[in-house]
Structure 1
Amino acid sequence: MTIALDKLAEPAVRAFVGALNSGDRAAFAAALTPDATMSDDGSDRDVGDWTEREVFSSGGHMDIESQSRDGLGLVANYRNDTWGEMRTAWRFTVDGGKVSRFETGQA
């Protein structure tokens, strides 16, 4: 059972997931602070390079399985054309209504 986008509790996370799933680079950039940072499996990565490779050029998509009480943590089945599907955990830091950091890794 997946959680619908409109049921995600945190508006900034909802904007992030919606933009990612629709492949909308402009909306994705708008969901992030200008200095947003991220990590993948505990290693900091360049947001632009990582999202282009892991999301936009490879058809990335998240099916949300669960969210934390505060809406800043997600468990999702993430898939893209490069890696197939995997169960992932996501943690978000929100500043001023935008995502300033996200951390992802296998769940």
Structure 2
Amino acid sequence: MTIPVKQLSDPAVRTFVTALNAGDQSAVYNVLAPGATMADDGTDRDVREWLDREVFATRGHMDVESEADDGRTLVARYRNDTWGEMRTQWHFTIDDGKVSRFETGQA
């Protein structure tokens, strides 16, 4: 069972997932706070480099299965052309309506 993206509770997370699924680089970068950071499986990565490699160049897509923490923690089936599909967890830190950090990894 998946949660429709338009029903995600946190507006910034909803914008991030909507933009990611649409492959809309501008919209993803617009919802990120200046200096936003991220980690993949516990290792900090360069946000733009990671998004380019793991999302935009490989047609990344999230199907959200559940949300917690007022919509700031998601469990989703994530797929891209490099890795196929895997169950992932995403945690977002939101400041002033922007994503200041996100952490993802296998769930």
Is TM (by shorter chain) over 0.5?
A: yes
CA offset at residue 22 of structure 1? 0.2
Shift of 1:75: 0.1
Q: Deviations over 1:37-88 (max 9, x none)?
A: 0000000000000000000000000000000041100000000000000000
Which residue number in structure 1 is paired with residue 45 of structure 2?
A: 45
The 1-side partners of 2:34 and 2:55 are apart by 19
Aligned to 1:65: 65
Partner of 1:74: 74
- What value does the CA root-mean-square deviation take over the aligned residues? 0.5
Q: CA deviation at 1:7?
A: 0.7
Which ranges of structure 2 fall in alignment gaps of 5 or more residues? none
The equivalent residue for 1:85 is 85
1:16 aligns with 2:22: no
- Separation of aligned partners in 2, 1:64 and 1:83: 18
Counterparts of 1:12 and 1:98, CA distance in 2? 6
Equivalent residue number for residue 97 of structure 2: 97
| Structure 2 SS opposite 1:26 | helix
Specify the code of the residue in structure 2 equivalent to 1:95: D
Q: Distance in 2 between matches of 1:11 and 1:70?
A: 10
Change (3 A) 1:72 1:56: same
Percent of matched pairs sharing the same residue:
65
Q: Supply the AA of the counterpart residue of 1:97.
A: G
TM-score by length of 2: 0.99
Provide the secondary structure at the position in 2 that maps to 1:70.
helix
Partner residue, 2:55: 55
Q: TM-score, with normalisation over the residues of structure 1? A: 0.99
Query: What is the SS of the residue equivalent to 1:85?
Result: strand
Unaligned runs of 5+ in 1: none
